[in-house]
Amino acid sequence: MSGGAIGMLVLRLRASPRLTARVFAASLAANLLGLASSFYTMLVLNRYVTHGVDSTLAALTVGVVLSIAFEHLFRHVRLGIAGRIGRAEHERLTTGAFGILLTARSGAGSAEGDAARREALRAPEQIDSALGSANLATLFDLPFALGFIVVVALISWPLAAICLVFTLLAIAAGLLAQADMRAVGRDLAQAGADAQGLVTAAIVGRDAVALFGGAKPLLGDWQRAAKALRTLRERMSMRQGRAQSAAQSLQALQGVAVIATGAVLVVRGELDVGSLIGINLLVGRALAPFTRLAQIGESLAMARQAQARLEQFARTAVEPPGGTSLPRYAGTLELRDLTFTPPGGVTPLLRRLNLSVPAGNILVLKGRNGSGKSTLIRLIAGLADPQEGAVLADGVDIRKFAPSWWRQQIGLLPQEPVFLNRTIRENLLLANPRLSETELHAVLHRAGADRTVADCAQGLDTPLRNFGHELPTGHRRRLALARALAVGGRLILLDEPTDGLDSEGTATVYRTLIELARSGHTVIIASHDPRILQGASLVLDLDQPNGTATVRDAAGLVTP
């Protein structure tokens, strides 16, 4: 076993000491009972064949049958107990990995990054499979194999020496096979991640693939990835087959060596035939666990790779679990030397932005596509961190706030709204669990989403599927606006709030902005809508170097 596999095994056994002790006890009982068939052979050949007493044969046969039955029982019980070892560790790994996924600091995602995260989340299952009850039972049998060699030594030390030599050869062959499979396993895991990246690209970008000639190159990439996967799997299978063949050959050679040497000892009168046959059975049992170890080498190698992926994933930057909060957020916001470069970027998208937004003001972010409007909104929401500078709320760097508290101060409408696959009611209540039924209907009305809900057969209890993408764009954005308002925060962040809306929906957005401004909310809007620009008290032009802020009296948003 590799050092990584041993470490994983030790960790699991130490986490369940009582279960480990019970598995050890069951293994001890099963292996002691396993001696019975060898001794039965010796006694039958040496006593019954010599003396021909039928009662002796009957007694020995009944005894060995009972021993075999109890050995089977103990092995069955051991499997059940071994299956419980590592449950807590498996739950810890799966929960921890998913928790990292949920709390990871957001960056610019990619198909490759998504595939790597999926592989990391599969890692606990691969580890649990490799260290399952059957494989654990094999590993627990290894130390008892040495006990069989000791029993052989008590009968004939030359044959015990042969058994020990072949056991050491089996261990060496197993270690070499695992080292060989480990390198292939690493390449196989990477090839699997690459293939998953192509699957993600085909699913996420299916419209672009269909409309803009992406099918042919993606199919070519997939064929190459599938060929690489098949080649690596065949290579892994070949190495595993060689390991099994080597183990079987060693077992056969051990039998030849034992019989040949034992025959000489029998001729010399140093050993009887019954003992020779019994010893041959014992040395077979001694070598069997090491033979099975070679067979599970592939899964152990894959588990080691899975562990490495988990360790790398665990280094993902996550949001802090706690932080400070303010007794009351007044709504002021300040950008101080704010600089942000996207992951993998070579030049800053936002450079040294400085701006102060008093409470109750409307700030509009303008600029061409890709100028950083959506990115700035994510930075203000705390969904990404700047490389330099800071976003301050009421004079405090928002990175010092507990993320959960800061998000209770924010109502966010993203450019591409995404919902949880739950009911409309649950999505709104998750944003603000304190809302009453009356307040739920009020925010839906303010956002113009009440008619959307009324058109649903189950109303507020309508389940959303595919993260809300089964809804028309306008309905989805109205519901997203209702969710942003449901939070009840003093700071409202809206990314292109009138995109995808008809004239009625656009009028609703204008009316909502007027209400927010009159109630003293601080509103930050990324928009190219001239009506919204007209009503802004501050405009930040991100097309200008370092961002140019224009302060002006709000003209006011007028409903049509």
CATH number of the domain at 349, please.
3.40.50.300
**pLDDT the model gives residue 110:** 42
Does 467 fall in a domain?
Answer: yes
Choosing from 284, 314, 344, the residue where a domain stops is 314
Based on the fold, state whether residues 376 and 299 are members of the same structural domain.
no
**pLDDT the model gives residue 70:** 94
Neighbours of 84 (CB within 10 A): 13
Based on the fold, state whether residues 481 and 433 are members of the same structural domain.
yes
How far is Cα 287 from Cα 161, in angstroms, rounded to an integer? 13
Which class for 79: exposed (0-12), middle (13-18), buried (19 or more C-beta within 10 A)? middle
Domain of residue 377: give its range.
333-551
Choosing from 261, 287, 314, the residue where a domain stops is 314
**pLDDT the model gives residue 331:** 92
Does 557 fall in a domain?
Answer: no
Does 128 fall in a domain?
Answer: yes
Based on the fold, state whether residues 278 and 360 are members of the same structural domain.
no
pTM exceeding the 0.85 threshold for the entire prediction: no
**Tens of pLDDT, residue by residue, the chain (560 residues):** 555 566 777 777 888 889 999 999 999 999 999 888 888 888 888 888 877 778 888 998 999 999 999 999 999 999 999 888 888 888 888 888 888 888 877 653 444 466 677 778 888 888 888 888 888 888 888 888 888 888 888 888 999 899 889 888 887 877 777 777 777 877 887 888 788 778 877 776 776 667 567 778 888 888 888 888 888 888 888 877 777 788 788 888 988 998 999 899 888 888 888 888 888 888 888 888 877 776 676 677 778 878 888 888 888 888 888 889 999 999 999 999 999 988 777 788 888 899 999 999 999 999 888 888 999 999 999 888 898 999 999 999 999 999 889 989 999 999 888 888 889 999 999 999 999 999 999 999 998 888 888 888 888 898 888 888 888 888 889 999 999 999 999 999 999 998 878 888 888 889 888 888 888 899 999 998 888 888 888 899 888 765 554 544 444 433 32
Does 94 fall in a domain?
Answer: yes
- Quick check: 173 and 244 in contact, CB under 8 A? no
Contacts 24+ apart (CB under 8 A), 241-248: 242/177, 243/173, 243/174, 243/177, 243/181, 243/294, 243/295, 243/297, 244/291, 244/294, 244/295, 246/173, 246/177, 246/294, 247/170, 247/173, 247/174, 247/290, 247/291, 247/294, 247/295, 248/291
Number of H helices, E strands in the chain: 21, 10
**pLDDT the model gives residue 554:** 42
**pLDDT the model gives residue 115:** 65
Choosing from 287, 314, 341, the residue where a domain stops is 314
Based on the fold, state whether residues 396 and 542 are members of the same structural domain.
yes
Based on the fold, state whether residues 299 and 428 are members of the same structural domain.
no
Does 105 fall in a domain?
Answer: no
Report the CATH number at residue 129. Answer: 1.20.1560.10
* Separation of CA 275 from chain center: 54
* Helix 473-487 vs helix 437-446: crossing angle, to nearest 10: 130
Neighbours of 223 (CB within 10 A): 10
Based on the fold, state whether residues 429 and 339 are members of the same structural domain.
yes
Based on the fold, state whether residues 389 and 530 are members of the same structural domain.
yes
How many domains does the chain contain in total? 2
**pLDDT the model gives residue 1:** 52
Based on the fold, state whether residues 269 and 358 are members of the same structural domain.
no
Based on the fold, state whether residues 353 and 227 are members of the same structural domain.
no
Does 389 fall in a domain?
Answer: yes
Based on the fold, state whether residues 502 and 547 are members of the same structural domain.
yes
**pLDDT the model gives residue 303:** 80
Based on the fold, state whether residues 36 and 159 are members of the same structural domain.
yes
Neighbours of 536 (CB within 10 A): 26
Neighbours of 69 (CB within 10 A): 11
Write out the E strands in 401-521.
410-413, 491-495
**pLDDT the model gives residue 188:** 82
Dig out the tokens for 414 from the structure.
């993203």
Q: What share of the chain is helix, strand, coil (3-state, %, to 5)?
A: 65, 10, 25
Does 320 fall in a domain?
Answer: no
- Quick check: 493 and 332 in contact, CB under 8 A? no
Based on the fold, state whether residues 402 and 536 are members of the same structural domain.
yes
Which class for 318: exposed (0-12), middle (13-18), buried (19 or more C-beta within 10 A)? middle
Does 327 fall in a domain?
Answer: no
* Separation of CA 157 from chain center: 52
How far is Cα 128 from Cα 306, in angstroms, rounded to an integer? 10
